[in-house]
A and B are shown apart, each in its own frame.
Chain A
Amino acid sequence: MKAVPLAYIARNLWVRRVTTALTALGMALVVYVFATVLMMSEGIRATLVATGQPDNAVVLRKGAGAEINSAVSRTQAAIVESLPGIATDGTGRLLVSKEPVVLNNLPKRGSGKPSNVTVRGTSEAGLALRPQVRLVEGRMFRPGTSEIVAGRAIADGFDGVALGQTLRFAGREWRVVGVFDAGRSAFDSEIWGDAEQMMQAFRRNAYSTVVFRLADADAFERVRAQIEGDPRLTLEAKPEVRFYAEQSEALATFISILGTALTAIFSIGAIVGAMITMFAAVAQRTGEIGTLRALGFRRGAVLAAFLGESLLLALVGGLAGLAAASFMQAVDISTTNFQTFSEIAFRFTLTPDIALRTLLFALFMGLVGGFVPAWRAARLKIVDCLREA
């Protein structure tokens, strides 16, 4: 079947520029929301996924779900430490870190509104377990002191946490001696200090988690069985990667569902816009339709021409919306993660998959909006069209 030339389709959109622009604008806005939501969800996942190391394991109290809900007593922590299967570093020191994790309510920079920030007591082993963390300002805290270092997102986003400033909690002054960058992972939103100092200050007898590196990355199951099978321990173990992935589930899913539901509703508006435009286009060009059919173009060619016009319109809107959404990548955003109850900073992340899905969504809107008008155009009788010309 011979097709109506592409020039005809494209130029008709150009000739009715204002209508094309308005309809495409409607679609672009919907696409923008769609893409941005996907990028937000992806950004949260990416941040949390970047947090876990593939050969690290995390031990928490059974059923805890989040570090702040978990308690691992000193005795239990000691038992975990003594298990076989934990890697050692070059000097023979065990790569295991027993960490208390608490939340501090701090005021955000600018708005002054308070938000919960994760404060983690860690150790030299703990630093070694997170190779993605690098100091960008100052120096690391000295063990046995009340020095702390702040993740980049916290230092930037909150008041009173910049290099040299002091935080007051648990009856002590804690001085910020450094700022670290954690490679766009969850640790960027944390404050780190000495584990034992924090345990003392908070008068705690239980850590929140025990993190260690597996000597043999494939041996996780064996180690897990040992931990979960030990009657003295009421603990569970997870690969660090999976632990952090699960942390993002609730928030990412919530945003995804909310965004998808909203976009579905909005898309109705955009599809209606496309339908109105295409119906008008068909009505205005019945003479041309009749001429094309008289010349010998098939009904299918007419259908394809108008459907093509609608799809092209949607593509223009889709690309515009996607371009606008891609600018969101420059925006830093943070929110409270439902599961951890603490602040997490992330970015809008645009992946090729999201770009593709966005454009397909745009084309889908064009298809649905343009189909009925195109079908009607193709169903017209030649003599009726020519009579109206």
Chain B
Amino acid sequence: MFLLRLLLKNALRHKLRTTLTMVGLVVAVCAFGLLRTIVDAWYAGVEASASTRLVTRNAISLTFPLPLNYAERIRAVDGVGSVSWANWFGGIYVSERNFFAQFAVDPPSYLALYPEYVLPDEQKQAFLRDRQGAVVGRKLADKFGWKVGDAIPLRGTLYPGTWTFTLRGIYDGADAKTDEQQMLFHWKFLSETMRQRAGAAGANADFVGVYVVGIREPDDAALVSQRIDALFRNSLAETLTETEKAFQLSFVAMSEAILVAIQAVSYIVVLIIMAVMANTMMMTARERLAEYATLKALGFGPGFVVRLLAGESLLIALVGGLAGIALTFPLAAGFAQAAGTLFPIFQVSPLTQALQLGAALLVGAVAAAWPAWRMSRIEIVAGLRHVA
């Protein structure tokens, strides 16, 4: 207890310096947490993946479609429970800034494959009945202030022209990991409209973007994937089937360079503050030289001196770290707001918080290490001479 009181008094002696150090530490912990959260957000799609879902796409690249008639053949594959499909629509709502994901899907099979999109039953029925209907996630509806029954206009880029949908339902995510910023509508509507509008060029009308395949046993994933791909080998549209997780990871891999950079930078920021704090502790140690010598002369062992200096550093680090963690939440909320729909899931994970605290304590320990070692070895006489 005596040690703690002493530490507290010491830390408060030089209020300005302690405050500044803590400000720096809070900023660093916040930045570290924010960066990790950004990286986590990038992997949100991966985290939301189910082990019983596979994604089948054209083997050339995601930008090539697959024929609609593949659905039946995939359904017949051993191990497959259900099949659905989705087309990335890529439309613009009012302006490019309002980016969000839109998929043309086969509602009955798709909603069955994604039980985490929780829809009240009457909304689901209304959606199924209305070919021009759409459902959106709660966060998206809140963002644009949509209510059931509203008309939602989209300007198509991949599928040119203006498209209007009627909002029939708003789904809630089953847990925090579920993306509530998506819009789903009927693939049939897309197909029929394209056929009408494009005429001959409506050869696109009977193609899907990806197939989503539900399997019975997660362990069968690799086997079933191979079976599906074998079906279509040497055909016009060869397929590549992988687990949903692998599919989502491939998106993350596209921005790998940026992610690596962000992660590197998050460690750099910890280094920065480590340097600053080490500087502070060294200054503090130098000033307290005479006191430590006196303590030693009075009979306190070198261990006590080490504990004193290290303890002060850790105390500052602990307080700063906790404050930094607390501040990360509003900062993350603000960032999510600014980034809009770019990061549908943006949450500070418990692991991040633990790492933040760990980083703060590490900074405190490292910062005090060298000065504490120096001070523990100080000769009493040499220290006392420093009184002047």
Give residues in A with beta carbon < 8 Å to B: 18-19, 22-23, 25-26, 29-30, 32-33, 40, 61-65, 68-69, 71, 73, 102-105, 111, 113-116, 169-171, 202-203, 205-206, 234, 255, 258, 262, 265-266, 268-270, 272-273, 275-277, 279-280, 333-336, 341
Q: How near does chain A come to B257, taking the closest CB pair, in angstroms?
A: 4
A71 near B250: Cβ-Cβ < 8 Å: no
Contact with A along B240-283 (1 / 0, CB 8 A): 10000000001001111110011001001101110110111011
Q: Among B250, B254, B279, which residue has its beta carbon within 8 angstroms of that of A276?
A: B279
Residues in chain B near residue A23, CB distance under 8 A: 275-276, 279
Of B34, B257, B275, the most chain A CB neighbours within 10 A belong to: B275
Q: How near does chain B come to A318, taking the closest CB pair, in angstroms?
A: 14
Complex Cα spacing A18 to B282, Å: 9
Q: How near does chain B come to A64, taking the closest CB pair, in angstroms?
A: 7
Of A171, A206, A234, the most chain B CB neighbours within 10 A belong to: A171
Listed A/B pairs (14) with beta-carbon separation below 8 Å: A22-B282, A23-B275, A29-B272, A64-B157, A113-B256, A116-B63, A266-B27, A269-B272, A273-B272, A277-B283, A280-B17, A280-B283, A336-B254, A336-B255
Residues in chain B near residue A234, CB distance under 8 A: 160
Is B64 on the interface with A (CB-CB < 8 A)? Answer: yes
Complex Cα spacing A319 to B314, Å: 32
Residues in chain A near residue B278, CB distance under 8 A: 22
Residues in chain B near residue A276, CB distance under 8 A: 17, 20-21, 24, 276, 279-280, 283
Given the interface contacts A269-B269, A276-B17, does A335 sit within 8 Å of B254 by beta carbon? Answer: yes
A29 near B61: Cβ-Cβ < 8 Å: no
Q: How near does chain A come to B43, taking the closest CB pair, in angstroms?
A: 14
A262 near B273: Cβ-Cβ < 8 Å: no
Complex Cα spacing A335 to B251, Å: 11
A-B contact count (CB 8 A): 153
Besides A68-B63, A102-B60, A205-B203, 12 more A-B contacts (Cβ < 8 Å) are A30-B272, A40-B261, A64-B157, A102-B64, A103-B61, A255-B258, A269-B269, A272-B21, A273-B275, A273-B279, A334-B257, A335-B255
B283 near A113: Cβ-Cβ < 8 Å: no
Q: How near does chain A come to B164, taking the closest CB pair, in angstroms?
A: 17
Q: Among A65, A102, A114, which residue has its beta carbon within 8 angstroms of that of B157?
A: A65
Of B30, B31, B61, B62, the most chain A CB neighbours within 10 A belong to: B61
Q: Among B63, B155, B268, which residue has its beta carbon within 8 angstroms of that of A103?
A: B63
Residues in chain A near residue B236, CB distance under 8 A: 170-171, 203
Given the interface contacts A22-B279, A29-B268, A273-B276, does A333 sit within 8 Å of B31 by beta carbon? Answer: no
Cβ-closest chain A residue relative to B155 = A63
Cβ-closest chain A residue relative to B370 = A18
Residues in chain B near residue A73, CB distance under 8 A: 201
B160 near A61: Cβ-Cβ < 8 Å: yes
Is B16 on the interface with A (CB-CB < 8 A)? Answer: yes
Complex Cα spacing A102 to B60, Å: 9
Residues in chain B near residue A333, CB distance under 8 A: 257
Cβ-closest chain B residue relative to A334 = B257
Complex Cα spacing A63 to B96, Å: 12
Is B66 on the interface with A (CB-CB < 8 A)? Answer: no
Cβ-closest chain A residue relative to B90 = A69
A26 near B201: Cβ-Cβ < 8 Å: no
Given the interface contacts A19-B282, A114-B253, does A272 sit within 8 Å of B157 by beta carbon? Answer: no
Q: Among A18, A19, A33, which residue has its beta carbon within 8 angstroms of that of B268?
A: A33
Complex Cα spacing A115 to B257, Å: 12
B61 near A116: Cβ-Cβ < 8 Å: yes
Residues in chain B near residue A268, CB distance under 8 A: 23-24, 27
Q: How near does chain B come to A273, taking the closest CB pair, in angstroms?
A: 4
Complex Cα spacing A32 to B254, Å: 25
Is B35 on the interface with A (CB-CB < 8 A)? Answer: yes
Residues in chain A near residue B24, CB distance under 8 A: 268-269, 272-273, 276
Cβ-closest chain A residue relative to B158 = A69
The 8 A-B residue pairs with the shortest CB-CB distance, nearest first, are A336-B254, A273-B276, A272-B24, A22-B279, A113-B253, A105-B61, A103-B61, A335-B257
Contact with A along B1-30 (1 / 0, CB 8 A): 000000000000000110011011001101
Is B295 on the interface with A (CB-CB < 8 A)? Answer: no
B279 near A265: Cβ-Cβ < 8 Å: no
B20 near A69: Cβ-Cβ < 8 Å: no
Of B63, B90, B155, B271, the most chain A CB neighbours within 10 A belong to: B63
Is B101 on the interface with A (CB-CB < 8 A)? Answer: no
B265 near A272: Cβ-Cβ < 8 Å: no
Is B59 on the interface with A (CB-CB < 8 A)? Answer: yes
Q: Among A19, A33, A270, which residue has its beta carbon within 8 angstroms of that of B265?
A: A33
Complex Cα spacing A275 to B158, Å: 54
Residues in chain B near residue A111, CB distance under 8 A: 253, 256
